[in-house]
Structure 1
């Protein structure tokens, strides 16, 4: 029997929970206890000498705290262990230069979340086409929106399973993010054409073959008017608050409604990005993008008192537009989706791609007439066309000239497994 290479793929799937009021209170309590556990660990870490900061000592301190403080028992023991491991992993990332040092988590500045490290505790079942049921420790059976097939049931391959989950609360309510692991055949090399991509503000995604992907406003006119009304109401109520006075419940309620509308806009933007990047990775085998340093692009232009910046308001508006398009998230989606479909993703240097003529290759002053039009000022050329289309053609040309900064995208999120018979992958 022929053999084929199987790869282990790990990904996440997020679904909306339908919690009853009592279940919502229990989940909120667990999230507050998880945050408290983190803060207690951080305080313990600062008090202990270096030679005492070990995982075993921290585990003993957590167990003692759960015995001494009653309300800490609301968090399951496995979730408390997950907080401990995450805290130590954060310090490890800090020592290796990948993250900042951990700090205390504030009540209103921290995303409420609870980890469920054991997948066997979830006991997921599908009720019907739209809903499923999941078991949350110390909360009970909860319904969730079934929008993607999950590896559950007796007929599922044992290699395909849910390894854990995480409960996350945003402005729209509680959600559950499943950690899914599957074993599947390695994708065959994508035979699609090559394409260069230019990202922008006016045209979010422009391809070198002339295709463009655009979107409108994420909120309807009615929702935008409502958001503006709520922001004005919040500013007015904030003016009447005395210095040092606690925020009123009415103002908190207004802030919650503002956050709900913004979360709705972000969810629609994410959906558009997922659909667009999926369509691109299915159609093209080689995708070339610019290596943008977005953090430098969105820096403030205020300057200093001695040397103030120019056109600060215009730069601030541009920074908001760049951040709203989330170019980095688009590249991240393209990276793992190209690997899943057998394609490759390359990055090329970004300087000069928007000023260079894609027809003659010369950079002449004033060729970029506007945000949308490019007209080459070279007398021997005179090519004119869409500026974003011109930039995407330059991006692809740099790759074909061998100026790619990174090789094939690898198998992002995919780990190679041993050779097994195809029958085991069913």
Structure 2
């Protein structure tokens, strides 16, 4: 196989860790030390003059902090350097307009994580079909769930290897996210058909060829009843807490149970999104989606004191439904999966796609009678059908008329999309 037919791909793989209680305590200590290191670095950055905010001075400050503060010693030196690198990247993202300025990290409101920047420290081995072993600095050899073939042992090389990892703790326990670099065969152009995709709330994904992808509730009736029970118990226990009083351990355990159920629902939603987007990317060669500005769509309708908003409660419920469907994450998955299978993804302008009749092309006020039914008010047409499928056909029509944009395809798309993925993702 020639070198031109190969493409380098970087992606993440997340696996569940099986930590013993003592190992979990060590991982917790490292995560809290990393968060403290971030906060100390941010305080140093805010107090230093602009001329002295350099990489060398920041590195010297970190080394001195590790000598002066004992509990920071549980954090490996490479992980401390990764905190510095992440902090500087956060400022770069702020200066480029991609994110807000970095701030202090709270104990209970931020992701608990530790970075392992060097892949050679991991020393990964596969024990048997379901489990593998990985070395975590200053924690030891721990087991992780083996659900994907990783480039280790004789399968590893200069182009196929694990470049690093990150330990992440959520409501369901500790996980490890591997950063994998692989050299794979360049996919042949996908010969599948073209399809337009409309995202919605009542119907998550509607395709222009009439296909519909829907899902049920992410929690069972028993789990929803249990979630309601714990939420009511947390509300009752909050009533007995005085202003400024620390959260009790009992209330904290209740919050952990609530977070566990919500994390379970999120994992089921991610599983549905991955399976659905993979099937679409394998079936169709050209995908066309709407170029939605989701941040503007989910803005609050509360308004101001002088000019209060209307239908605030209804708009809040719609915003929650949009967030729950995670349209942006769906488009991100479709982007990199389509590129992996040799297809292309295009974005069409969103205005007018839900009001235009896909049969006659007229845009008449009141065409869309409800959320699910579309009836053309043009007396010469009168076509009626599903509103979501009608919007998907309009999206595909804009692409065929040359009004859609195509993002940069290929390796850059795959690499950028994989970084955004919750692992990522993230």
TM above 0.5, yes or no, is yes
Quote how far apart the aligned CAs of 1:413 are.
Answer: 4.5
Moved more, 35-44 or 92-101: 92-101
Quick check: 1:366 aligned with 2:366? yes
- Relative CO higher for 1 or 2, CA cutoff 8 Å, sep ≥ 6? 1
Quick check: 1:175 aligned with 2:175? yes
Distance in 1, matches of 2:372 and 2:23, equals: 52
Quote how far apart the aligned CAs of 1:99 are.
Answer: 1.8
Equivalent pairs counted in the alignment come to 415
Quote how far apart the aligned CAs of 1:371 are.
Answer: 1.3
Q: Counterpart in 1 of 2:241? A: 241
Distance in 1, matches of 2:15 and 2:114, equals: 15
Moved more, 151-160 or 280-289: 151-160
Q: How does 1:177-216 map to 2 (within 5 A)?
A: 177-216=177-216
SS in 2 for 1:63: helix
Could you list the per-position Cα deviations for residues 67-96 of structure 1 after superposition, in whole angstroms to 9, with x for gaps in the alignment? 122111100011011111111111122222
**For the structure 1 residues 156 and 43, does the alpha-carbon distance in structure 2 shift closer, same or farther, using more than 3 Å as the test?**
closer
Moved more, 364-373 or 226-235: 364-373
Q: Counterpart in 2 of 1:395? A: 395
Are 1:339 and 1:412, in contact at CA under 8 Å, matched by a contact in 2?
Answer: no
Q: Counterpart in 1 of 2:165? A: 165
Quick check: 1:32 aligned with 2:32? yes
**For the structure 1 residues 168 and 282, does the alpha-carbon distance in structure 2 shift closer, same or farther, using more than 3 Å as the test?**
same
Distance in 1, matches of 2:349 and 2:310, equals: 27
**For the structure 1 residues 114 and 265, does the alpha-carbon distance in structure 2 shift closer, same or farther, using more than 3 Å as the test?**
same
Q: Counterpart in 1 of 2:265? A: 265
Unaligned runs of 5+ in 2: 416-426
Moved more, 401-410 or 204-213: 401-410
Quote how far apart the aligned CAs of 1:121 are.
Answer: 0.4
Quick check: 1:336 aligned with 2:336? yes
Distance in 2, matches of 1:372 and 1:248, equals: 47
SS in 1 for 2:245: coil
Could you list the per-position Cα deviations for residues 385-410 of structure 1 after superposition, in whole angstroms to 9, with x for gaps in the alignment? 11111110000001001111335644
Distance in 1, matches of 2:290 and 2:141, equals: 47
Q: How does 1:10-409 map to 2 (within 5 A)?
A: 10-407=10-407, 409=409
Q: Counterpart in 1 of 2:422? A: none
**For the structure 1 residues 407 and 111, does the alpha-carbon distance in structure 2 shift closer, same or farther, using more than 3 Å as the test?**
closer
Could you list the per-position Cα deviations for residues 273-332 of structure 1 after superposition, in whole angstroms to 9, with x for gaps in the alignment? 000000000001100000001111111111112111111111111111111000000000
Quote how far apart the aligned CAs of 1:261 are.
Answer: 0.5
Are 1:302 and 1:312, in contact at CA under 8 Å, matched by a contact in 2?
Answer: yes
Quote how far apart the aligned CAs of 1:193 are.
Answer: 0.6
Moved more, 63-72 or 25-34: 63-72
Unaligned runs of 5+ in 1: 416-426
Are 1:9 and 1:413, in contact at CA under 8 Å, matched by a contact in 2?
Answer: no
Distance in 2, matches of 1:254 and 1:283, equals: 44
SS in 2 for 1:290: strand
Q: Counterpart in 2 of 1:424? A: none
Q: Scaled by the length of structure 1, what TM-score is found?
A: 0.95
Moved more, 238-247 or 399-408: 399-408
Are 1:162 and 1:181, in contact at CA under 8 Å, matched by a contact in 2?
Answer: yes
Quote how far apart the aligned CAs of 1:241 are.
Answer: 1.1
Are 1:11 and 1:413, in contact at CA under 8 Å, matched by a contact in 2?
Answer: no
Moved more, 6-15 or 85-94: 85-94
Distance in 1, matches of 2:195 and 2:96, equals: 36
Could you list the per-position Cα deviations for residues 129-157 of structure 1 after superposition, in whole angstroms to 9, with x for gaps in the alignment? 11111000000011111111111112444
Could you list the per-position Cα deviations for residues 365-422 of structure 1 after superposition, in whole angstroms to 9, with x for gaps in the alignment? 222122111111111111111111111000000100111133564434457xxxxxxx
Quote how far apart the aligned CAs of 1:259 are.
Answer: 0.5
Moved over 6 A (4+): none
Quote how far apart the aligned CAs of 1:358 are.
Answer: 0.4
